[in-house]
Structure 1
Amino acid sequence: MYQSEHALEELTISQLVAKGYERIQIKDDEVLLDNFRQILNERHMDKLKNEPLTDAEFDRLMTQINGKSVFDSAMILRDKFVLTRDDESKVYLEFFNTEKWCQNKFQVTNQVTVHDTYKGRYDITILINGLPATQIELKRSGVAFSEAFNQVERYRRHNFTGLFRYIQLFVISNSVETRYYANSDKEINKSNMFYWSDEENNRINNLKEFAETFLEPCHLAKMIARYMVVNESDRILMAMRPYQVYAVEAIINRALETNNNGYIWHTTGSGKTLTSFKASQLLAKEPGISKVIFLVDRRDLDSQTLAEFNKFEKGAVDMTDNTHTLLKQLGDRSKSLIVTTIQKMAHAIKRQDPVMAQYETEKVVFIIDECHRTQFGEMHRLIKQQFKNAQYFGFTGTPRFEENKSQDGRATADIFEKCLHKYLIKDAIRDGNVLGFSVEYINTFKNEVDTTNEEYVESINTDEVWMADERIQMVAEHIYRNHHKKTRNGQYSAILATQKIPMAMKYYHALKALSEQEGKNGLKIATIFTYQPNQDMRDGEVTEHAKDQLESVIKDYNKTFGTNYSTDTYNSYFADISKRVKQGIKDNKIDILIVVNMFLTGFDSKVLNTLYVDKNLKHHDLIQAYSRTNRIEKETKPYGNIVAYRNLKKATDDAIQLFSTTDNTETVLSQSYDSYLKVFLKTLGELYTMAPDPSSVDQIEDEEQQKTFVETFKQLSKTLLMLKTFDEFEFDEAILEIDQQTYEEYKGKYLHLYEETKKRKEADKVSVLDDIDFEIEIMRNDIINVSYILNLLREINLEDKKEQNKMRQQIHDLLDKADDENLRLKRDLIRAFLDKVVPTLLPGSSIDDAFMDFEEEEKQKAIESFSKKFEYPQQQLNRLVSEYEFSGQLDRSEVGKPLAGGLLTKRKKIDEVQTFIKETSKIYSSEM
């Protein structure tokens, strides 16, 4: 029987075979083991001295490598394995050639069936040297993309045992949407699924194009060998994103083919640490490079970057401030990669130790983190003087340009010459690698202070205005009163950025007092800043030395968190604060951290979602500060909240434009709640004008007016969805000027018009609504959708008829309320399955298999019926449906080949066939 995914699998496999894969038939674990053993013997025939492994030898081998964790399997895959043969001799076996990745054996199979906790039948498996290396799970066009992900997760929980633990990558696709991600022993978040793209960051979504590029044998092997990271600290595999791969490739090519410098512009939050580590690691293996030195700035969160490096490679970093240790590393010829601070390197050079002499001529590569701020000064000059034959590669999310040039007047290109790869904030937001921002501007003055007039501002005592006790108290109360809304009742943390230390202290005391009024339920407030040992106390506003102020707040901190820090253990205090700003709601976390400059660059925390700003920011400082809030976490964090108590609107727009190379700031910024509300009310007014109440929609008979109603309601629905993303949203009739019940009734009329239009199409009537692209997804119900219903089907109890009937009725009731477009399309199909097939299934039957078979039978009936009715060749129709499910595209000339008639008649028939193919692909595409 023609299986539901057979055509898609066959087209994909045919493409892979054309790319160089050998197609084999592996139906179960036993055949898989035999295939692995055969290839292992073939690839090691010389080492085995033409004596294949005996049964006993192979059994010993499998005992040691089979059924391990995903992480341990990944380590085994990349290592040499020592096997003791029956005669006690040793032989070194290699499971995967990581250096010459093209020199591996590539095979592809499909429909491997296993019986683990539950029966599993996998779509397409790519094997490298007989080991399952990449698993491809497919859903046809129109299926919710999450279904493929959920299916893989089910297999990871219940299947994927034995040699399937060697899977390194998953690829999931519904033909038009394709992503890849790394395997893991731990829970995998959907945010870890990545798009593949070309070097210009253009997505390669279509499965056919993805297979042509990403799944090309050498490229896939290179991704596994070179562009995955085995994180030993967290015991996880990490797959690199496409822009990270292109950046590393660009650096390696530049380093090996030229003596020139370069820099990588990847937006803040896009994973520069992983990219820079991989570049450093690969360059360190090159024989022509004496040392690779990764430089970070000692300021802010250097310890975080260093800790990340140690995660990727244990012992890679010296965390001490001891210059002697660095000199020892420089003198150790076997140590090819050094991670240190620019300050420590400058001190080492100043000591004029003899060990430094060799580096005046040897080729050294410097990889420099946050190069927009670490490479403009005396220390960089010292390093260049010492390392005369060095190359410099910088990483930055916010380069220096003419608009934000450094104090010495230089731009990033003045030092690093060429930008080797770009991945901008608009790219990262589009790809879902970082969040956008919701910026709220709060005016803290009445009319007497015009903060937008620069000349006026310069003529007044700005500190007197900004730091007035009444203003500080007012802002502090506003922050405290609204903090639970911005952070979803404390689920997230916040930073308050202030202009200077005295302001930070004023806010600290004000917020601390508000917190103490609530007792145990109060917010946990902390602050941190650096101080000058010889602070000028003559400044009129300075009444207490900053060190004494810091000592005081650390004492408060010790009381709050049960710690024992002081200014003498400042680094430990800093590290503890860093940890607590990253902790979740159940932990003893900091709610609001008050800072001046610290933590506004380089600090990554998924549970930080809000930045309160009471300081002037612009250009790279603004983007860096805002970007503390936009790390991907989960759906309850849709964007980074910025609450600005100064008019930073122009500065924000300028910075977004500068670092997005676009004038369209909407690419990054969501509009305010009030702006969306205005659009909603305006659109609602237009709706009321044409239909004062839901029942009056029935009186709209003119098709042009119906079209206007549909488009108006669609806009209303889109705007409502945007409003729902804001914490302050409530379906309040006093605000929205419509109650929820009335809105639902209007929606029902909208859906009715959709059905009526479809009926008119089927009756071959001309309608002005035919060109409308109905987007019912805009009103999608996230609970009652295709995935939800299909999961319910799986839970039907086939052994208890009473429970079975109860569940069937429950699903019928849910289908009656279907709000999801895909589910509405498949409603009749699912009902027929419930009533015709489910009652006939025996206990122990696979509902998954039964549904897939039923779906395919119904699909074939629909194709046969259409073929007869329209006198269209059934074989050609089957082929076109399969092609559309695979590529998401239809060739009109191919559709029209079997059709006769004049130009207009033929065009009409082609439209009818195309409509049928698209509808059929949507309806019969709900694999489980």
Structure 2
Amino acid sequence: MPTSSEHKTVQARIMTYAQNVGWTVVCREEAEKRRGGGLSLFYDDLLDAKVREFNPRYADAEGALLGQFRHLHADIYGNREFVEHLRNRGKFFDHEEKRERDLILIDYDHPERNVYEVTEEWSFHNGHYGTREDIVFLINGIPVLMIECKNATRDEAIALGIDQIRRYHRETPELFVPQQLFTATDAIGFSYGVSWNTVRRNIFNWKDEEIGKLEAKVKSFCAIPQMLAFLKEYIVFAEKDEELQKYILRQHQTGAVDASVSRALDPKRSRGLIWHTQGSGKTFTMIKAADRLFRAPEADKPTILLMIDRNELEDQMLKNLASLGLGNLEHASSIFRLNKLLKDDYRGIIVTMIHKFRDMPAEINSRSNIFVLIDEAHRTTGGDLGNYLMAGLPNASFIGFTGTPVDKTVYGKGTFKTFGCEDDKGYLHKYSIADSIEDGTTLPLYYQLAPNDMLVPHETLDAEFLSLAEAEGVADIEELNKILDRAVNLKNFLKGKERIEKVAQFVAGHYLANVEPLGYKAFLVGVDREACAFYKQALDRFLPSDYSAVVYTANNNDSALLKQFHLDQKEERQIRKSFGKLAELPKLLIVTEKLLTGFDAPLLYAMYLDKPMRDHTLLQAIARVNRPYENEAQEMVKPHGFVLDFVGIFDKLEKALAFDSNEINAIVKDIKLLKALFKSKMESIAPEYLRLVESNFNDRDVDNLIEHFRDPERRKAFFREYKEIEMLYEIISPDAFLRPFIDNYSMLAAIYDVVRKAYTKRIQVDREFQRKTNMLVQEHVGSYGIGQVQQVVKLDANAIDIINAQSGGGATKVINLIKSIERIAEEQSDDPFLIAMAARAQAVQESFENRQTTTAEALEKLMQEVEANEVRKKEQAEKGFDGLTYFVYRTLLDENIEQAEDVSRQIKSAFVEYPNWQKSEAAMRELRKKITFAIYAQSDDLDRVTGIVDALFGLLEKASRI
């Protein structure tokens, strides 16, 4: 069975589904015509007409607005400016009234007035590179969404689609000034993100109730109300590490925003609790809920309080709000300022902290359209502060946000009673740890206990910490520190001089062997600031001093030891920034309180925990290591987070985390489970593959592997199993546990190496091996003498004799010939004949893999290709043709075009006349016209001629990308 094309399996179906939900299909030819032959990024006439319809006083000359858009920078800043226009915040001058007005591009209040269109094969050339997007959606002539379609039968189809989108950004960034969203789909998966952010952790899977159905996903994602919501509400820009970033709110975030706004405006209910697990974007959810409430007509000019629990987060919240351009914003930096704003009946958004409510007068403002959104509600509203807040604003609505679940010790009271009393299960909206891990929003966590001689004695840990009633449900690190200050024996043990030295040596060794080879960074968490200072001194004896840095709060009356590691704000800011960058030091931060909440560093992989923690504080701390990380250049994809416990907390996990058991099971897992899983896979799955190698990788073994894995499904299953085993090895290694498996594992890696080289092209988003496996492969695989695969042969008159003389069977020769043809096509990418030859070789490989062609037949076809190439080289030399002219000549002969040689020379002259045809749309059009006329003079079938010209340019475009 021939494989289906991308267009038939995916692209055409998406066009149909889009039409079903209200988008008008515009054929490619019509779309190109409306874009002035592909020169414009817009449907100019429609956009101009809609601007004048929505803005009756708009009187600028036709094309003025488009000229303005074309001058926007082709980068994220130009894109942000365009978003402002899409949200109708652009301006035009009203000459009659002598003032500026908002420029309406999209009518969000009356969606039926907009024009919704979809087209395919959207091509654009910027003078250097050309791009063709599979599907583009337009509103009022403005392209807002592009979809990259891939064939579901291709391995890593969506990964390849994302790679293409990245390339489009690099080569034709102009496209992504107006375009805001992208998706990549292979008819099974449906990944989406926003332009100018193609990092893996910010590309998400669109979920629909009808799991796996392309139709349901397209119809829900591309639904007109959904698309308008994306554009108007759910694309946000924010500064991070002094760089502008663009994000899209995910489905759990938009669901929580909708739920928050609905509850706040509900006249019968005024409470709600939202649990969105750490690292899932809770801050943006709060900000967008505040923004929506402020603009809601039903809210009737409300007051919205954004309550933060730490200075650090307050500063970040203000920066984010400023970057979103929200108006009517006040910072209540003092109790006096907050009281004044509320007494004066300020209408707008107020950012403040919970402690500013201390001693606030009762009923300072009794309006009902006051909405209080409280961050980390599990710890900010307990006791007197919560009472002051509720009494000061008796008729307000209160929505609590928390990054941790409600613990079992406070069901029916505290946070649960304050916010969750109006919902059956306590939560207005929930995005659990398990949900987050399943979506890839956060990573799974694994822990390991340190050797017994470093762990805190059980009786001491239990008596002075775990069994204390006041430690149950501890929600704040300051509160935790007060409890630990009374744990004298516990602290003395943790800070013992000999133990500090032993732990520091162990941490240094573990980091160098387990973490640094993966490229990641680590935290060492000391019990207090003095312990941090001790650890810094000790670590410097085992690691270069610039590998580590201490970050803690400085006090004026600190001891000389503590003052030794004080940092000013600038130094601390630089350390934070450098820690988040791959190639910069430090690699290990020593902390005790600072950075354990709110600090987001995806490069952070390991936490060496030497501070007793539990419940919310423990959950918040270990969540620092669960952030996804991807680095395309280094080909790193972080698999999970890791905690090495020097206290013994995780030995008493049920006691340390007082949450529902199903939530605990989703939080952290013992690394022993991974060892058991690795052992199971090596004993049950690996043997069936290891049996395929009988003679320590001689040429017969290699040929058997190539033959065995001809079936793409069988190959895909092996790659999946191998990658799971490899990831387990990477997590566990180095460890004495692995010693009995090393030989078989390295053999399995060698099998993977052979099959990968034979059948796959390297994909940018996935590397050959993870780092530790790569070292093992370099050490062991060379000893097997594997060299038969990818023996590239020079394609000359001797090629066939060389192939026949090679060791190995027919399957190996088939693969080597295909690789040889592909290599020469890459090296001579300006020769269309070789590009076409490589395409035919690829077709032979697909037929060979699908067993439609025998090994002997595939080898014979490839030999014929090599022979034909030798014949054409002689004929080309005799006629004095270059590669392009000869290819045109052969194409015309194959199509039975008369006077093929003369026509070929005419076409060559046309290419000489338009040397910039690849950089200029105008030159391209003229060139196509001349070529079409030259061929048409010898044939009266215009459709046939057009097909020949399309095929020719399609191949030339492909050649330009090699």
The equivalent residue for 2:369 is 363
The equivalent residue for 1:594 is 591
The equivalent residue for 2:552 is 528
Contact between 2:291 and 2:326, CA under 8 Å: does it hold in 1? no
> How many Å separate the matches in 1 of 2:266 and 2:724?
53
The structural deviation recorded for 1:393 is 0.6
Which of residues 505, 514, 522 is equivalent to 1:494? 522
The structural deviation recorded for 1:279 is 0.5
Give the TM-score of the pair, scaled to structure 1.
Answer: 0.69
- Cα 1:837–1:860 change in 2 (3 A) is farther
The structural deviation recorded for 1:691 is 9.8
The equivalent residue for 2:448 is 440
Helix, strand or coil for the counterpart of 1:584? coil
> How many Å separate the matches in 2 of 1:862 and 1:692?
23
The equivalent residue for 2:600 is 604
Asked if 1:10 corresponds to 2:12, the answer is: yes
> How many Å separate the matches in 2 of 1:606 and 1:581?
12
The equivalent residue for 2:863 is none
The structural deviation recorded for 1:346 is 3.0
Asked if 1:479 corresponds to 2:512, the answer is: no
- Cα 1:272–1:153 change in 2 (3 A) is same
Contact between 2:307 and 2:353, CA under 8 Å: does it hold in 1? yes
The equivalent residue for 1:379 is 385
5 Å-filtered alignment, 1:357-756, equals 357=364, 359-403=365-409, 417=423, 418-445=426-453, 450-451=458-459, 454=462, 461-488=489-516, 492-499=520-527, 501=528, 504-515=529-540, 521=545, 523-529=547-553, 548-549=557-558, 552-557=561-566, 565=568, 572=569, 576=573, 579=576, 582-584=579-581, 586-587=583-584, 589=586, 591-595=588-592, 597-634=593-630, 635=636, 637-652=638-653, 658=659, 661=662, 664-665=665-666, 671=672, 674-675=675-676, 678-679=679-680, 717=722, 720-726=725-731, 728-729=733-734, 735-736=740-741, 738=743, 742-743=747-748
The structural deviation recorded for 1:582 is 4.3
> How many Å separate the matches in 2 of 1:365 and 1:639?
38
Contact between 2:519 and 2:582, CA under 8 Å: does it hold in 1? yes
Contact between 2:91 and 2:101, CA under 8 Å: does it hold in 1? yes
The structural deviation recorded for 1:230 is 3.4
Helix, strand or coil for the counterpart of 1:479? helix
- Cα 1:321–1:803 change in 2 (3 A) is farther
Helix, strand or coil for the counterpart of 1:111? strand
Asked if 1:128 corresponds to 2:139, the answer is: yes
> How many Å separate the matches in 2 of 1:121 and 1:586?
35
- Cα 1:852–1:99 change in 2 (3 A) is farther
Helix, strand or coil for the counterpart of 1:726? helix
Give the TM-score of the pair, scaled to structure 2.
Answer: 0.67
The structural deviation recorded for 1:455 is 7.4
5 Å-filtered alignment, 1:24-423, equals 24-25=26-27, 26-27=31-32, 29-30=35-36, 33=40, 36-45=43-52, 55=62, 57=64, 69-83=78-92, 93-101=103-111, 103-116=113-126, 117-143=128-154, 144=156, 145-161=158-174, 165-184=177-196, 188-198=198-208, 205-231=212-238, 234-258=243-267, 259-287=269-297, 288=299, 290-298=302-310, 301-313=313-325, 321-330=333-342, 335-346=347-358, 349-350=360-361, 357=364, 359-403=365-409, 417=423, 418-423=426-431
The structural deviation recorded for 1:337 is 0.8
The structural deviation recorded for 1:437 is 1.3
Contact between 2:237 and 2:247, CA under 8 Å: does it hold in 1? yes
> How many Å separate the matches in 2 of 1:205 and 1:472?
53
Contact between 2:445 and 2:668, CA under 8 Å: does it hold in 1? no
Amino acid paired to 2:36: E
Give the length in aligned residue pairs: 766
- Cα 1:851–1:281 change in 2 (3 A) is farther
> How many Å separate the matches in 1 of 2:849 and 2:834?
23
The structural deviation recorded for 1:180 is 0.9
Contact between 1:618 and 1:651, CA under 8 Å: does it hold in 2? no
Structure 1: any 5+ residue segments left out of the alignment? Answer: 532-546, 559-564, 566-571, 701-708, 756-774, 786-801, 867-926
Amino acid paired to 1:218: P
1:374-413 Cα deviation digits (max 9, x unpaired)? 1111111111111111111111121323246699696665
- Cα 1:154–1:684 change in 2 (3 A) is closer
The structural deviation recorded for 1:100 is 4.9
The structural deviation recorded for 1:133 is 0.4
- Cα 1:608–1:748 change in 2 (3 A) is closer
- Cα 1:170–1:465 change in 2 (3 A) is same
- Cα 1:10–1:750 change in 2 (3 A) is closer
Contact between 1:8 and 1:140, CA under 8 Å: does it hold in 2? yes
The structural deviation recorded for 1:652 is 3.4
> How many Å separate the matches in 2 of 1:718 and 1:836?
31
- Cα 1:837–1:464 change in 2 (3 A) is closer
Structure with larger RCO (C-alpha < 8 A, sep 6+): 1
Identity of aligned residues (%): 20
Helix, strand or coil for the counterpart of 2:576? helix
Helix, strand or coil for the counterpart of 1:218? helix
1:439-482 Cα deviation digits (max 9, x unpaired)? 11113439995559957998995455444433333223222332
Helix, strand or coil for the counterpart of 1:275? helix
Amino acid paired to 1:591: L
> How many Å separate the matches in 2 of 1:585 and 1:44?
47
The structural deviation recorded for 1:151 is 0.9
1:655-678 Cα deviation digits (max 9, x unpaired)? 779367357559866546654564
The equivalent residue for 2:767 is 782
Contact between 1:109 and 1:125, CA under 8 Å: does it hold in 2? yes
Q: CA RMSD in A?
A: 5.4
- Cα 1:441–1:854 change in 2 (3 A) is closer
Helix, strand or coil for the counterpart of 2:152? coil
> How many Å separate the matches in 2 of 1:689 and 1:452?
50
Deviates most, 120-129 or 670-679 = 670-679
- Cα 1:368–1:850 change in 2 (3 A) is farther
> How many Å separate the matches in 1 of 2:682 and 2:533?
41
Amino acid paired to 1:292: I
Helix, strand or coil for the counterpart of 1:248? helix
The equivalent residue for 1:759 is none
Deviates most, 235-244 or 36-45 = 36-45
Contact between 1:284 and 1:291, CA under 8 Å: does it hold in 2? yes
- Cα 1:843–1:328 change in 2 (3 A) is farther
Amino acid paired to 1:728: S
Contact between 1:171 and 1:181, CA under 8 Å: does it hold in 2? yes
> How many Å separate the matches in 2 of 1:302 and 1:574?
20
Contact between 1:252 and 1:283, CA under 8 Å: does it hold in 2? yes
Amino acid paired to 1:153: R
Contact between 1:101 and 1:222, CA under 8 Å: does it hold in 2? no
The equivalent residue for 2:775 is none
Structure 2: any 5+ residue segments left out of the alignment? Answer: 468-486, 631-635, 705-713, 771-791, 855-960
Amino acid paired to 1:782: R
> How many Å separate the matches in 2 of 1:263 and 1:212?
31
Deviates most, 599-608 or 584-593 = 584-593
The structural deviation recorded for 1:484 is 3.0
Contact between 1:267 and 1:425, CA under 8 Å: does it hold in 2? yes
Contact between 1:301 and 1:603, CA under 8 Å: does it hold in 2? no
1:472-511 Cα deviation digits (max 9, x unpaired)? 3322322233233454169544333344x3xx41452243
> How many Å separate the matches in 2 of 1:41 and 1:632?
43
